[in-house]
Amino acid sequence: MDLSELDRDSTGRCRLKSPVPAVCRKEPCILGVDEAGRGPVLGPMVYAICYCPLSRLADLEALKVADSKTLSESERDRLFVKMQEDGDFVGWALDVLSPNLISTSMLGRVKYNLNSLSHDTATGLVQFALDQGVKVAQVFVDTVGLPDTYQERLQQRFPGIEVTVKAKADALYPVVSAASICAKVARDQAVKNWHFVEKLQGLDADYGSGYPNDPKTKAWLRKHVEPVFGFPQFVRFSWRTAQSILEKEAEGVMWWVPWRCCEEGGREARAPPVTPEWSVLPLPQGGLTDRGSGGTWEDHVLLQRRRPSPPPPAPPVLPGAGSGVSHHSLGAGLFSFLCLRHPPPRPRLVIKVLFMFCFGFVF
């Protein structure tokens, strides 16, 4: 499996795919969707689809595919190689989402939580199979969130396809099991061969399972947190585990934010303004706090609400004019220029302007 695109840019996402079997463009197909690496604080999350013709489903079952969590790494690798060898009727595609993409999406000013990211990624892969010419007739998905809501959403998106969303679908449907194997093999390879762009001293590759409650993973995070710049791109810094370590181990950072760069309706910041034009936001390294691990972010707008703009100044009234009298706009403008300018204009300039006004223009 070639993950060189992820190595070149570990801040975004990359998509991998097998060749589409010719039979999958001719016969109705069944397609399964599953993911690997949704919960860990380290490494990417990988979504995968696997598909085959309905007429060859028995051949896929004969491969003895199963939920990837119940298989050893060597068994998963063997089954993935077998699916590649049977490429005349089995196809797959992957979407690898980097830790940086996951965290920046979750911490954006517009909420984009992990469930929404997962739903959109799965939907995108089903659409990708259709765009490749696969005749998808049935889709089976391992649920994220409420199965009924998720299924209704996918059914509306793909009205011509029979959609089934179930919890533990990777243990119920062989085509989802095959997708889970593809996803897990890709994630394991990405984690094992991760290219650290940061120059880390004494890099320790023993980071445990990568899950937030693993003591080895926590020890690795504490060892490799940089006091000012935080974690390497291998870490999902939006996870509560990473945030707690940042709060304890890293230095505080003071952000100075101009009032005028804020948007109307933003949430109030934690600090009052220091001057009429600027506010100071004392935030911990990493930017944000009070976030559940892998959950939604409720306090993600860092900037204070913009102050209401002052009303525009009333048009000047020339001396001696009664109420309700309107003036030529040029006359009013000249009056403002001459009488209200700070500092006042030089006498010679006043004479020139008055001469031009009296002999060239009329109110």
β-pair partners for 31: 51, 139
pLDDT digits (tens, 9 = 90+) for 57-101: 999 999 999 888 889 999 999 999 999 999 999 999 999 999 999
* Structure confidence at residue 278 (pLDDT): 42
8 Å CB contact between 272 and 224: no
User: Which carries the bigger pLDDT value, residue 244 or residue 258?
Assistant: 244
pLDDT range class, residue 217, cuts 50, 70, 90: very high
pLDDT range class, residue 290, cuts 50, 70, 90: very low
305, pLDDT greater than 70? no
* Structure confidence at residue 352 (pLDDT): 59
* 34 annotated as a binding-site residue: yes
* Structure confidence at residue 253 (pLDDT): 74
* 85 annotated as a binding-site residue: no
55, pLDDT greater than 70? yes
8 Å CB contact between 218 and 227: no
Share of the chain above pLDDT 90, in %: 52
* Structure confidence at residue 277 (pLDDT): 43
Predicted TM-score (pTM) of this structure: 0.70
* Structure confidence at residue 69 (pLDDT): 86
Nearest to 31 by CA among 143, 120, 167, 134: 134
Eight-state DSSP code of residue 269: P
pLDDT digits (tens, 9 = 90+) for 100-122: 999 999 988 887 899 999 999 99
User: Which carries the bigger pLDDT value, residue 351 or residue 168?
Assistant: 168
pLDDT range class, residue 268, cuts 50, 70, 90: very low
pLDDT digits (tens, 9 = 90+) for 24-39: 999 999 999 999 999 9
Q: CA torsion, points 205, 207, 209, 214, in degrees to nearest 10?
A: 170
* Structure confidence at residue 354 (pLDDT): 54
Question: Exposure of 351 by Cβ count < 10 A (0-12 exposed, 13-18 middle, 19+ buried)?
Answer: exposed
Share of the chain above pLDDT 70, in %: 70
8 Å CB contact between 271 and 279: yes
Averaged pLDDT for residues 240-244: 91
